[in-house]
Amino acid sequence: MTTYTSRQDVPNNEKWNLEDIYSDLSKWENDLHLVENMAEKLRQFDGAITDGKSLYQYLKQREELSYTFNHVYAYSMLRVDEDTRDASSQSLLDRAKGLSVKVSASTSFFMPFLLGLDKETLSSYIAEEEGLTYFEEDLYESFRYKTHVLSKDQEEVLSQLGEALSAPSTTFGMINNADIKFGDVTNNNGEKVQLTRGMYSKLIEDEDRDKRREAYKAYYKPYIELKNSIASTLSAAIKNNVTMAKIRKYPSALEKGLFGDMVPKEVYENLIKATKENIAPLHRYSEIRKSKLQLDELRQYDMSVPLVQGVKQVIPYEEAYETMIKALAPLGEEYVSILKEFKDARYIDVRETPGKRSGAYNLGIYGVHPFILLNHQDDLDSLFTLAHECGHGVHSKLSSQHQPQITARYSIFVAEVASTVNEVLLINYLLNTEKNLEIRKHLLNHFIDQFKGTFFTQVMFAEFEKITHELAEKGTPLNVEVFNQTYEALFREYNGDTVVFDEEVKFGWSRIPHFYRPFYVYKYATGFASAIHLATRILDGDSETLQSYLTFLRSGSSDYPLELLKKTGVDLTTPEPIENAMKKFSELVEEFSVL
């Protein structure tokens, strides 16, 4: 594997080219000052919007400001992510963050003003100013929230409580990221060392079961020690959410969480119901895992170890890119040409270097192009990450090309569809072309485990959120016992009787940051199921599905997420996409069981 001690050593063609945003720093400085001036001008509209013309002028200038500000912010963020230790880049980002506060302050008057209008007045403004037709849908979308917005004075009070209401999330973040100290594990020299998260992700996959068990116990130790503190932060977060839903006149906290994407609660409930009705293959996979590991008892620390040992593929970046292009050929020539452009025009930052931000992401910048950050390790995981992020990247590029700025950004609800379609096409290609039986088994194992983590685990989390919020709505006290009982019952239901439960299992709720961002994780599961549904049809040669999928990638947020997906043939208001995904999972498990 290629390792670099410095960013300077990485070849230019494996580094993104930020000059596509600003060719030199003076242009960034100019735009920073330009946005400051634009923000000052926007302030002057406070109290001065009295007709269609002034409303149009405000919205037009706000969009121009947004366009330039996004460039200023993105450039400084990408610079920092190249090397988080670099003080000059950090200084640019600090200034961009300061600018963000000024921009927010200059536009904060607008939403209370807009929702203070009656619908007839807004309609008359739109009728008298032709330019407002561009903003019309957005304006009426804001009006959807009118019944859930309070008086100006009440909104002012709530905005001042914002920091206090986010305290449970902030507190958990500090416990989880700054204060937590894991237990000790034994290193290769037989010495006791403190476990870190990075070590845990490797040790929980170790062939040595004693090492896995030791790491598992050490990982859960602080969460169990801090159980009462964490239970109180999670309880407060849930109660805050329930209270805000009541104050804003939503029927329930769940419906408040789904309102923005206009998703009926039946979609959420249907996801859970259809998953549980088709859970048998997941239980079957636990039995296969127990058998292949030749264990008397299967425990939670046995759930992540790869079932096919000794298959360490080295896949250099150039080879990974070629493999991805071949795998995604079913998506057509335009799609493949965009992928080639990503590489040739340096949209991707490939290599891990000291100080570089960890992980991977895609950032689409309207008016420029997407930028993709990787930390490529020349292995199978990195190949899948490449295909995943390029899925987001092509989605960003096509939406930006085919949508005006106002609808170019797509919602998180549909974001994971494009990335997962790529992963399904990739695994299909690898399985069809791989002759080595052990590698085929390894590929199947890899995809089954990914399916489990991205779909089943997220549905289980989604059900935990639903149950705990409903308990709070009934006035049931939330504490360690309630969380433990709820989580353990769900874990047993989803994982089946094959798994023998350690004491730690029921404390799983205590380590999940997503629970502080309520009713969000279900989107991973719906996105994954939608992608399985689409990729299967595309691989079957269904040209109508392919064309509707490419149209979906060009659609940004030009319609609500469920409607965009319906146009591709995926209707999440029915059980069909979930059942199709379950069928695919069952096929993968069966194929793996006979290899």
Residue 311 pLDDT: 82
The parent domain of residue 159 ranges over 7-164
Determine, yes or no, domain membership for 80.
yes
Residue 202 pLDDT: 86
Residue 526 pLDDT: 96
The active-site residue, picked from 389, 416, 465, 504, is 389
What are the phi and psi torsion angles at 535 (to 5°)?
Answer: -60, -40
Determine, yes or no, domain membership for 170.
no
Determine, yes or no, domain membership for 578.
no
Q: Which residues pair with residue 184 across a beta bridge? A: 194
What is the 3 state secondary structure string of 315-384? CCHHHHHHHHHHHCHHHCHHHHHHHHHHHHCCCEEEECCCCCCCCCEEEECCCCCEEEEEEECCCHHHHH
Of 220, 217, 236, 223, whose CA–CA distance to 179 is shortest? 223
What are the phi and psi torsion angles at 575 (to 5°)?
Answer: -75, -10
Determine, yes or no, domain membership for 16.
yes
Determine, yes or no, domain membership for 150.
yes
Determine, yes or no, domain membership for 23.
yes
Residue 155 pLDDT: 79
Q: 389 catalytic, yes or no?
A: yes
Mean pLDDT by 10 residues, the chain (595 residues): 83 97 97 97 96 98 98 97 93 95 90 91 96 96 90 80 87 88 90 88 91 96 97 97 96 97 95 96 96 95 91 91 98 98 98 90 97 94 96 98 97 93 96 92 93 95 98 97 98 94 95 94 94 95 97 97 97 94 95 89
DSSP 52-121: HHHHHHHHHHHHHHHHHHHHHHHHHHHHHHH-TT-HHHHHHHHHHHHHHHHHHHHHTTHHHHHHHS-HHH
pTM for the structure as a whole:
0.90
Residue 2 pLDDT: 63
> What's the domain count of the chain?
1
Q: Give the span between the Cα atoms of 578 and 228, in whole angstroms.
A: 37
Residue type, position 538, single letter: I
Determine, yes or no, domain membership for 224.
no
Query: The CATH number of the domain where 30 resides is what?
Result: 1.20.140.70
CB 463 within 8 A of CB 268: no
- In this structure, how many other beta carbons lie within 10 angstroms of the beta carbon of residue 166? 14
Reported as type and span, the H/E element at residue 466 is helix 457-473
Determine, yes or no, domain membership for 134.
yes
